[in-house]
Amino acid sequence: PICCQHERCQEDMVLKSIRTAWPAVLQVGPPSYAAVDRERSSVKSTISFSITHSTGCAAVSYKLVGSIRYHETPEDDGTAANHFTCRFLQKARAYSYNDMLHSGELKEIGDESVFLDTDPLATTLMYVRTSDASVSHFFLGDCHI
C-alpha cells in the first residue's frame, strides 16, 4: 500500500490492476549498463516469443524481423568505422544490408538461425507483433484482454 497523496484522503492506495499496451513494433536494445561495460552489452535474440500473464489469457506474440548493427571500428570487408548496417528476415531467409558494400544490394546470409547466434554488433532487435492481442490487463491474478 501507498499513502494517498490527496490532502483529504486518509486511505492507502492498493495496486489492483496493471494495463499494458503492447506496441506493433517492439525494439529491444542492450541493457542500461552497456555503455559502461561493452563486454556484457550484446543483445541476445530469439526468432519469436509470447508474453502471457496467467493461464487462460490471450498471449501477446512477437516475431523477429531484423536487427540494427553498429560498426564502431573499420571492418576487413570495407565497412567504415561509426557505420550502421542491418540484417533482416524475409520468408525465413536472412539478409544483410550495407550501403557501403555490393553497390548497396542485399546479400543473403542464410536462414533465420543466423539470428540465434549472439551478434556483438547488434544494437537493436526489431520485432513485429503477430497476435491480435495488443492490450492486456492484469487484475489481482486474473487477466482480461
The reported pLDDT for the residue numbered 145 is 46
Question: What confidence score (pLDDT) does residue 20 get?
Answer: 84
Give the burial class of 98: count Cβ atoms within 10 A of its Cβ; 0-12 exposed, 13-18 middle, 19 or more buried.
buried
Q: How far apart are CA 106 and CA 96, in angstroms?
A: 6
DSSP structure class, residue 59? P
pLDDT of amino acid 111: 95
State how far the Cα of 101 lies from the Cα of 85, in Å rounded to an integer. Answer: 10
> Phi and psi dihedrals of 131, rounded to 5?
-95, 160
- What are the distances in angstroms from CA 3 to CA 7, 10, 15, 18, 95? 11, 8, 12, 19, 54
The pLDDT of residue 66 = 95
In order along its 145 residues, the chain shows pLDDT tens digits of 777 888 888 888 777 777 788 999 999 887 666 656 666 566 678 999 988 765 566 789 999 999 999 888 888 888 888 899 999 999 999 999 999 888 889 999 999 999 988 888 888 999 999 999 887 767 765 444 4
Cα–Cα distance for residue pair 121/80, rounded to 1 Å? 13
- Distance separating alpha carbons of residues 99 and 106, to the nearest angstrom: 9
